[in-house]
Amino acid sequence: MDRGVLVFGAGFALAVAAGWLILPGVFYAKVEQPLAFSHEAHTQTGGMACEDCHGFRDDGSFAGIPTLEQCASCHAEAVGTTESERKFVEEYVKLGREPQWLVYSRQPDNAWFPHAPHVKAAGLPCESCHGDHGQSNSLRPLEVNRISGYSRDVMGRPSGPLGLRRAGGMRMDDCVRCHAGADLRHSCLDCHK
Q: How far apart are the first and last CA of the chain?
A: 59
Pairing mode, strands 165-167 and 142-145: unpaired
CB distance 154 to 172 below 8 Å? no
Distance in angstroms (rounded) separating the CA atoms of residues 20 and 14: 10
Alpha helix ranges (H) inside the chain: 3-27, 39-40, 50-53, 68-72, 83-88, 115-116, 127-130, 152-155, 172-181
- Residue 128 one-letter amino acid: S
How many whole angstroms separate alpha carbon 188 and alpha carbon 15? 40
Tell me the Cα Rg of the chain: 21
pTM confidence score: 0.74
Length, in residues, of the chain: 193
Residue pLDDT tens, the chain, 193 long: 688 889 998 999 988 888 777 877 788 899 999 999 999 999 888 899 888 998 888 777 788 889 999 999 999 898 888 899 999 999 999 999 999 999 888 778 888 888 888 888 889 888 888 878 888 889 989 988 898 888 888 777 766 666 666 667 778 888 888 899 989 888 888 888 7
